[in-house]
Chain A
């Protein structure tokens, strides 16, 4: 089999699907290949902060400008992926007020609107804050749902003619002098191998950029920085809480639906695979974030996880937090002589659309085509969908059915609908597309039920216990670092069920 297209995009993160949509809206055919599911890398493993740009205002004004511009655009085109919570930058006694004043000036320079709040005003907005705080600065931060954002981009791209192939891996590139003619790819589920030929190839693989470039004998300077996060089992804050000081470990608490996410750490990695959160990182996050919200000391946690920031290094390095979070667009034609290969990396989820726009502009230029970007104007397909807890509860009480996930109230029919709508390949695909297993028990009960339903629907025949064991092993990575207190009780329950009653 052979597929021919104009542009081949590698990587199904926010950047890749963003490019896919942008090109589709310009009428340029493309094929996107992703070896896992959507948002398997950093797009799906972050704290979900909808940046105002405040975090970069002092250290990286350029990145801050990009953030606030995208902040305004995404509020219009993707309101259903964003909770408009605002954010506070809180100054604690040990921080002093020098940084705050620098912060206020920097925000003004890049155009981020700020409101200075006195101690009591801040406590009224956020009663769980450390009562000793000096002051807080309000900025237009928010919380976002990265997975929905990615799916919605993909859906719109496909509606406009783009082709997206998940669970498909690149085996090799077909090199022809100073060009890449295409790629040999493999469908990881069917095992089928085929060729995708394209005039242009875009490497949007994030932290995996060098793994891909190796296929073309290329390399770029990149630092991989692990950031670990911790999820509480209830929401502790209305708005995003940042520490008003230079970026550091454990300085942010992002609300997300019914939970809060504590972040982050920054640890240099040499490899992209096999990274885990250590108990030490968990203790560090609790110690630091509880300075802002003291009740974190007593909180129950449901999971720890980590993502990798792909940070582009032009030449010299220092502290990873000091490397720009700005993105980089490399035309390998100019750099290494491979004319039709482009790498887009660095950057962050918040600027995915801008990254896609710049990449698509470059493609148009290389193709000698007109066509201007419209992704900043056209809302995503679900933008008119009602959002918010109130709406969801209304919907839920209207047609309540059998519930599979008691923590997150996921209904059986929701699973059946997801199955009807898409071709799903594995358990993780389903878990990505619903809230099932995201709650306190972390799938301890509902994943068994989900597999049971799949058997009932005659959609699973093989060794489901192998899948169940695989899931429990994956789940363990997020749980092992947080097992004490109530979470440890729950773990004894889960072990007693699966190793005990079920003898897996």
Chain B
């Protein structure tokens, strides 16, 4: 089957690329082995959260980015450019109208509590988390659930000097409750009302109540507002261990929108081979066991992520890109991949490795020689960023996904 554009990878960058192409009326196929790191780690939209960008010298995000781009000419943000980053964010935000919208606090980073009782800088915040912004302060109660082993209320509360309580519901909750199961239960009105009344009984004048981020999958605002009404205090969600329910909400929203726009959506299938002719990709093979199907397109976008996503692989000697075998920027040997200390002040060199691109997001080698002319590369697979330490994961995904697609369309 032939398409205008095929996106390989279903993380946030792939979804952004597919959305951008579909909006221009292109016939789009998006194929992905899984849902990417989006459903593991994304809760809010990080853009750039390194100190000193937080703390007392807080800057507007625009100024931080502008300075960052000046100081890091090879960084993906520098490849995109300041104005274009903002354009990409607007495109992302248009997909999330109220009530489940994202907003910033005065266009600056702010600090949100986490499941380890730390505070973490982030930029665009969903409405279910906005109440947790530390500057909002106030007496806070943290809620945990007995049998849910990925969140410990006292761990969080003790570190942040809040109060914590653990709720148990013997009728409904068994051992080994997962975040997804609890999120679904939260959508049952009777279930969340029971929780609300129990909290109201145990509330000691706290003005905020923090939950692990599992207040429903489809209508979290309704869950939040119902709870607020019963408890009589502000309710907010706290990011926890993967999987991420807020990440799934983002994924589901993209999926629904793309399918509605007629995009072919192939989730759960991996690309097993790409056929090249000269500097062009002619077709890809997608494995739907037991059959292998061939798809072709005029243009392709590679957004397969890093090691978790399978976009990059490593044997005991080197790192490689498995679909197109693209050249990579990487340290000379395995000895140099990681530093001796895990929490080293400097990022591990392996995270700087990745695919090099030209100004049109096409893959190039170290001598800037073009490798493939109808393939664009987007997302965390790109070289010269370390999104974990930078707290720039979603920002890089959104801006490069958007612009790789724009460039593919000749914009």
Q: What residues on B are CB-neighbors of A451 within 8 Å?
A: 152, 155
**Cβ of A455 and Cβ of B154 under 8 Å apart?**
yes
Q: Please determine whether B147 and A503 come into contact, CB atoms closer than 8 angstroms.
A: no
Chain A residues with CB below 8 A from B43, complex form: 501
The answer to whether residues A458 and B154 also contact, given A448-B241, A497-B241 and a CB cut-off of 8 A, is yes
Question: Does A445 interact with chain B (Cβ within 8 Å)?
Answer: yes
Residues of B within 8 A of A504 (CB): 116, 118, 343
List which A461-487 residues lie within 8 A (CB) of chain B: 461, 463-465, 468-469, 472-473, 475-476, 480, 483-485
Q: Is B322 an interface residue (CB 8 A)?
A: no
> Does B389 lie at the interface of the complex (its beta carbon under 8 Å from any beta carbon of A)?
yes
Near B by CB (< 8 A), chain A positions 398-455 give 400-404, 412, 445, 448-449, 451-453, 455
Closest-CB distance, B125 to chain A (whole angstroms):
14
A118 to B261, CA, bound (A): 67
Nearest chain B CB to A422's CB is how many angstroms away?
23
Say yes or no: A495 contacts B338, CB within 8 Å. no
Q: State how many angstroms separate the Cβ of A423 from the closest Cβ of chain B.
A: 22
Q: How many residues of A contact B (CB 8 A)?
A: 51
The reply to whether B242 and A456 contact each other, CB–CB distance below 8 Å, is no
Answer yes or no: A502 CB below 8 A from chain B CBs.
yes
Encode contact with A along B151-191: 1 for CB under 8 Å, 0 otherwise. 11111001100000010000000011000000000000000
Is residue A390 contacting chain B, with contact meaning CB distance below 8 A?
Answer: no
- Point out the residue from B120, B155, B176, B335 that lies within 8 Å of A503, measured CB to CB: B120
Does the CB pair A404–B149 fall under 8 Å? yes
Task: Kindly state whether residue B226 has any CB partner on chain A within 8 Å.
Answer: no
Quick one: given A449-B150, A484-B314, A500-B393, are A279 and B334 in contact (CB under 8 Å)?
Answer: yes
Is A394 an interface position by the 8 A CB rule?
A: no
> Which residues between 228 and 249 of chain B lie within 8 Å of chain A, taking CB atoms?
239-242
- Taken together as a complex, chains A and B put the C-alpha atoms of A475 and B149 apart, in Å, by 22
User: Which residue on chain B has the smallest CB distance to residue A405?
Assistant: B149
Q: Is the CB of A465 within 8 A of B342?
A: no
**Given A476-B341, A484-B315, A496-B40, A502 and B115 contact (CB-CB distance below 8 Å):** yes
Q: What is the minimal beta-carbon distance from A458 to any residue of chain B, in angstroms?
A: 7
Most buried by B among A283, A458, A480: A480
Residue of A nearest to B157 (CB): A455
Q: Assuming the A-B contacts A279-B335, A501-B41, A501-B241, are A465 and B118 also in contact, with contact meaning beta carbons closer than 8 angstroms in the complex? A: yes
Check if A476 sits within 8 Å of B159, measured CB to CB: no
Interface of B is mostly: loop
For window 282-310 of B, CB contacts with A under 8 Å fall at 306-308
Which residue of A445, A453, A464, A468 contacts B241 across the interface (Cβ within 8 Å)?
A445
- Interface contact A465-B116, CB-CB below 8 Å: yes
Cross-chain contact B343 with A503 (CB below 8 angstroms): no
B388 CB to closest chain A CB (Å) equals 5
A residues in contact with B116, CB < 8 Å: 448, 465, 468, 498, 502-504
B149 touches A449 (CB 8 A): yes
Given A456-B152, A473-B343, the answer on whether A489 and B316 have CB atoms closer than 8 Å is no
Chain B CB within 8 A of A270 CB: no
The docked-state distance in angstroms from the alpha carbon of A456 to that of B151 is 11
B360 proximal to A (CB < 8 A): no
Interface: B32 (CB within 8 A): no
A94: chain B residues within 8 A (beta carbon): none
Q: List, in ascending order, chain B residues with CB within 8 A of A452's CB.
A: 149, 151-152, 154-155
Chain A residue with minimal CB distance to B43?
Answer: A501
Are A464 and B159 in contact, with the CB atoms below 8 A?
yes
CB distance from B346 to the nearest CB of A (A): 13
Known: A501-B114, A504-B116. 14 other contacts (CB 8 A): A445-B241, A448-B241, A451-B155, A456-B155, A456-B166, A464-B117, A480-B340, A483-B338, A484-B316, A485-B315, A499-B389, A500-B391, A501-B41, A502-B116
Query: Could you give 19 example pairs across A and B, Cβ below 8 Å?
Result: A279-B334, A400-B175, A401-B175, A403-B149, A403-B175, A404-B149, A445-B241, A456-B152, A456-B166, A473-B343, A475-B342, A488-B307, A489-B308, A499-B388, A501-B240, A503-B114, A503-B119, A503-B121, A503-B391
Top 4 A-B pairs, shortest CB-CB distance: A452-B152, A455-B154, A476-B342, A503-B120
